[in-house]
Every structure is written in C-alpha cells, then in structure tokens.
Amino acid sequence: MTQPPIAPRIPVVHRLHGIERIDDYDWMRDPEAARETLLAERRHYAAETAHLAPFQQVLTAKMAGRTPETESSVSWRHGAFVYYTQIETGREFGDFFRKRDGSDPGSVLLNLDELAAAGYVELGVREVSPCGRFLAYSVDTSGDEVYELRFRDLDTGDDLPDRVPGTYYTGAWSADSSSFFYTVVDDCYRPYEVRRHVLGGTEEAVVLTEPDRRFEVTVEATRSGAYVLITAANRDTTEVWLVPAATPEAEPRSVRGRRPRVEYRVDHDATNDRLIITTDDGWAEFRVLAGDDDLIAPNEGERVYKTDCFAGYIVITLRRGGEPLLRVVPLDGTGPWEIHPETTAGRIELVHNHDYDATEILIETGSYSEPTRWSTVNLATREREVRKTAETPGYDPADYVSERHWAPAQDGVLIPVTVVRRRDVPLDGTAPCLLYGYGAYEAVFDFVWDAPLSVFLDEGGVFAHAHIRGGGELGRAWWQAGRLAAKPATFSDHVAVASWLEDKVSAIATRGLSAGGLLMGAVYGMRPWSAVIAEVPYVDVVTTMLDDTIPLTVNEWEEWGDPRKPADFAYMLAYSPYDNIPKTDTPLLVTGAVNDPRVLVREPAKWVAKLRAHGANVLFRVEVEEGGHSGPTGRYAHLAYEAEIYAFVLDALRASPGARV
C-alpha cells in the first residue's frame, strides 16, 4: 500500500443560526490551491488500483467485444433528407451523416473526432435549418458544458465565419433559415438569456432575459414550424413565451404568465391552429389542455410528461403505475389508443420525429436486458414495424432477464426495484449485487442496454436499480415525498431495498452519481456494504447551498432547501455527508472532475480529505484535465472508465465473506 495524500487542515469557522461548523478544508474552494492535492490523489488512486489493471484490461476487452466495430444509429427523416450517425472502427466519436433516398451514398456533415481537442468533445446543439442548407452546432472540448456555437454551410461543407462563445443547450431556427435562437449562461452557468444570431451578422440580438436567478431558460421550435418556444423553469414553476418563427424580430408573447408552483409546457396543433398545453394546474400529475379544455380527461395513477403534435394526431408521453407508455389521440374524434414497451421493465419514447406531416412515428424501446430497438408506428393503421435493433456482438438477450419487484420501505410504502441478471444466476443468496440509486429532481432513469453492465452480469453479478422516492418513476407525488424536508426518505428507501435484497444475494455494493452521489454519502455508514461508489457526489450540502456565487445553488433551493432559513438549515445539516462523517471502513471510491460545472471538484475533494482524516478507506479518482460531469465521452474511453469502476466493484464483492462470483 502507498501512503495516501494528507491534505493540510486550515480551520475556517462558519456560524449560522447559532451553530458553529468548523471546515478544515475550505481552502479547497480555490482550484489552483487544491491542484497539487488533486494530482497526488490521482497518483494514489493509480497506485492503489494497479493490481486491478490486468482485470480492468480483461473487462475492457469484453466490453469492447460487445460493441460493434462500426456503430450506426437508426436513420430519421427531416425535410428532403435522411440523417444518421455512425462511428467507424477505431473511432471514438464518429460522424453525422445525411443522404437523399435511393442510391445516394450520403455525405459527412460533422466529423466529431476532428472536433475533439485532447480527446474530449460534446455537442450542445445540432440543428439543421428548415431550408436544409445550414447546420447550427455547438462544441465543448473541456467538459465545462459551455459551448461555442458554429454554423456550417452544408452545400460546401465549410464553416461560416460566424462563431458565438459562451452558449448552452437548446436552439431554434427562424422559418426562413436566416437567424438562430440560442441561450447563454451567466457567471453561475445559469442559462439566463435567449439571443438571436443573424447569419453573417456581427451583433447578437437579445430576445429575452430571465432576471430571476431561480429560473433557467430553454428555446426550441415547435414541430409545426410556426413558433419558437422560450421556456423559463425552476423546480415547480414555468412560463412559456411564443415568437412567430416567420417574424423572428417580434417580441415574445407569454402564453399563460407565471404563477408560483404551476408548470406548463406548450406545443402547437397546426391542424386546428391551437396550443396544446401540458400542465399541473388543477391536476397534480398533469393534464393536457386544448385551449382551456381538457383534450382528454386525466386519469388517477397516471403522470403525464409531454405532448407531441402531428398532423391529425397528438401523442402523449406518460407513466402508469411506474411503467412508461405512449397514448395516441386522433384529432378526428375517434378514441385514443396506446403503445407499450415490448418487454417487462422496459422503456419507450419518441425519437427523431421532426416532420409535422409525418404519417408514422419513430419510437425507441428496450430494457437493461433487451438491446435498443427502433420501430415505426403508423398512426392511421397502428401497424408497428421494427426498423433497427442495436448490434450487440456475443450477447443473446434470451440468456438474461429483467424483473420488476417491490420492496417495502420503513414506513410500509412499496418501492419499485428493477433486478437484472443472467437466467442461470439465481436469487438464492449466492450471487453478489450492485445496487444503483439516484432519487432526485423527479428524474426517471429508464432502462438502456449497456455493454459494461452486460459484462458485469456475465461475471456472475446481479444488478438492482432502486427507484426510490425523490425520483419520478411513480409520478409527481413520488418526487414530493423525497425532496426538501422529506429528503431523508430517499436514503432510508435505498437502505430498505438493500435489506430486501439481503436474503437474495450474497453481498451488496452500491453506486450513484451526482445527486446519487449524495445518496451514496448519506447511506455510506447506514449499513454494511461491500463497497460504495460515489461518482461526482454532491456532499457538502449546506456550504454549497449557502454559496450563491457558484452553479446550481439559487435554482436548486426548490429541490434541497435554502439553508438561510433556520428550518431548512436544520434538516439539511442533519443529512449532509460532509457534516456527518460515519465510522466505517467500507471501501469507498469517489470520482470528480476539475471541469465539472455541476458538482465542483472541491466537494468530493473536501469530503475525501475529511473522510481520510477520520480513518476511512477511500480512493479518489479525479479528472485533472479534460473531462466533465459524466466522465469520458469517447466510446472506448467510456468503456475503459466503466471497466475501472466494475473492476473495483467486483474486487470488493469477491472479498466479501460468503461471496460466490
């Protein structure tokens, strides 16, 4: 074993609401001051996991073997062209293609490997203009999620001289393809303003500024092409404005204003020239309005998420009893009908449906054990036709099973749990388990087949996903039951699922990312684990939520609470992992990234330093160069990262008493 880095202790006293908190590692808020410590942590991690390197290489090779040498996406139509992406043998990122029908061999619109500086690239927007000649795309080459917006002439393949730095996600073209709407961020990485760029122009027009720091803005075009939609949203309130796409200079018009704790989203039914609104106004789990009237009566037990308008049809995305489905509502007055996943514990969603006049929709389905499948559904005949199934070399779905179970929480509430395993791996207490959790923001993590997970299953492991309170799998009420003062229910739910698993598996490790990393920190000392993996964990809850100069503070108060208020401070302090260091020697792997704008690297760095000062068995895998919130982005770099995580997990599980794997 090598000696771990020992970070200097420089006490700073924080006083609030009559309570003193001593923070020995507050100095780490300065990334330059912390850099040598972070480099030492990365060296220590490399040394302490060196014995796993051969195993990591084996796992990486198996994962790569489950990945086709050339990966192509399903193709989709947008106007006169068909588009698709493809990653060729040996490539990390691949190309964005388009072609006409028939024998057209197609052409490369974007080569992402050429855009990757130092091996990292992420696209923020990728929007083809209505005329089909121009491509608006934005690039992040460091991982900080701030993008440079660029424009490419697809007739020549050359970029225009127009470049706009400091942009963020989402964008929309004007109807005549002469200008592009986009968002920019403030000093706290909040998308606060919508601007409009005229091709060939040198000045950016401000379209709308959101002054309330609790709100973020997005911009998108309606499928009908009639409007550009601007949405300002926080955790439970929205406001939407319309700009006619044919007159992009027009002032934005608010659709329904802004009322506290009322959300709504908007789409345009061009067939009847009316707005379709999805809102929780008058129905907590959301309803669909045509004007002021229900398009279809809301149902108990259903959570409506969004609507998509097509010529003659409206498609509603919803969940019922935790299961996803689509409801098609014909506008000719005939009754609605539904589209479901093909498998148990499966997912379904609309993808790449750009044309309003389309007579069929493209859907994506799959599960943890079933590779992704793309199908078209004819809206008139209801006929469903498989277009493409993801290639998964060496993988036979028949050898694996995904199951939905329900585990009792401490208060008797039943928690949905998805369990994935090989069919020849029984739930009889002989196989070890990796338990995954998140439980925040009403987020729903539907189930995507994953080569690294399939290799873990082949190693004899069981994977369980706990859909705990704070997430959105059971709707808005499920989120409300695990946010703000009710946040501890998220943690106790996760532990309850582990308790439910105890007689079914031999050992349990657990993993979570970001808000899921907070979950890992909170449950770290609540029960015996074989290992805990906390990726980019949000763990210094009170300090972070008191600092309104950093990203994701002011607009997060509606999720976690505002510690300037005594009651909020009390419940947040009671669970904040940084302020509640447990006595445990459970192996803990923490990750972080210097360029991460969502969870600043100082949070995991401070937590690791404090844990180590209390004798914890902790390693810190920190990205000190390029890399973002979710780790490496290239397909092989991502596989290598996952192999590191799974090697750590399997090594810990195999070392657990009674484990057989």
Among all residues, which ones are annotated catalytic? 514, 596, 629
> From CA 468, how far away is CA 416, in angstroms rounded?
7
Beta-ladder partners of 386: 375
Q: Which of 586, 570, 604 is nearest to 526 (CA)?
A: 586
Amino acid at site 204: E
Query: What are the start-end ranges of the E strands in 412-496?
Result: 414-422, 433-437, 462-466
> From CA 484, how far away is CA 380, in angstroms rounded?
45
CA atoms within 13 A on the CB side of 169: 9
Q: Would you say 262 and 281 are in contact if contact means Cβ atoms under 8 Å apart? A: yes
CA 123 and chain centroid, separation: 15
- Cα–Cα distances in Å, from 10 out to 7, 33, 39, 335? 9, 12, 19, 68
Handedness of CA 42, 45, 49, 55 (dihedral sign): negative
Query: What are the start-end ranges of the E strands in 12-121?
Result: 12-16, 19-23, 71-72, 76-78, 81-87, 95-99, 107-111
Q: Would you say 550 and 580 are in contact if contact means Cβ atoms under 8 Å apart? A: no
Give 43-69 as a 3 state SS string.
HHHHHHCHHHHHHHHHHHHHHHHCCCC
Q: Are strands 216-221 and 414-422 parallel, antiparallel or unpaired?
A: unpaired
State the distance between the two ends of the chain, measured CA to CA, in whole angstroms: 25
> From CA 304, how far away is CA 306, in angstroms rounded?
6
